[in-house]
Amino acid sequence: MLSGNWTMRTQAALARRHGVSTRQVRDDAMVIRRRWAKDIASVSPEEERAGWFQRVRAAQVQAQQTGHTITVARLLALEGRAMGHLEPARVQIDHRMTMADPRELAASVLQALPMIHEVLGLPAPAPMIVDMTEDD
């Protein structure tokens, strides 16, 4: 049942191996499926996801140990997609236009310039003097 190969031939082989009828094998399989369904219903989505990741990681280890590098790569890609690492970043831009005084805007940009250079890893700019007096 676990391998997914649940044919009449498999059921007959199990019945012969255990000395029971094929009807008994099918009835037992039905009981097992009901227990699985009950177990699945009682598991939280977080527990189910954790179990799934555990199985993916176990498969990765097994594939790596047997030298199946393509399988390892595919399982890593599957894990990355499932965890959301391979999705493009989503950015929401909120734009509002206001009338700003050009001199204040220029002053705030100049004040932020040293921080911008630091973030970009550039050498700090020479200090600048900003004159905010009105020249009308």
Q: What is the pLDDT of residues 60-86, one digit of tens each?
A: 888 888 888 888 888 888 887 877 767
Residue 18 lies in a domain: yes
Residue 34 lies in a domain: yes
The rounded radius of gyration (Å) of the Cα atoms in the chain is 32
Helix H or strand E encompassing 2: none
Geometric angle at alpha carbon 76, from 75 and 81, rounded to 5°: 95
Residue 20 lies in a domain: yes
What domain range is 18 assigned to? 1-42
**Whole-number percent of the chain with pLDDT over 70:** 88
pLDDT in tens, 14-46: 999 999 999 999 999 999 888 888 877 777 878
What six digits make up the tokens of 44? 């939280």
C-alpha pair distances (Å), 6 with each of 25, 27, 39, 44, 107: 11, 13, 21, 28, 75
pLDDT in tens, 38-66: 877 777 878 877 877 888 888 888 888 88
Residue 94 lies in a domain: no
Alpha-helix runs per DSSP H in the chain: 8-18, 22-41, 45-65, 69-83, 102-120
Predicted TM-score (pTM) of the model is 0.36
Residue 9 lies in a domain: yes
Check if the beta carbon of residue 80 is closer than 8 Å to that of residue 86: yes
How much is the mean pLDDT over the chain? 81
Residue 7 lies in a domain: yes
Residue 136 lies in a domain: no
Eight-class DSSP state of 95: -
Residue 24 lies in a domain: yes
- Report the number of distinct structural domains present in the chain: 1
Which positions ≥6 away from 1 have C-beta within 8 Å?
Answer: 29, 32
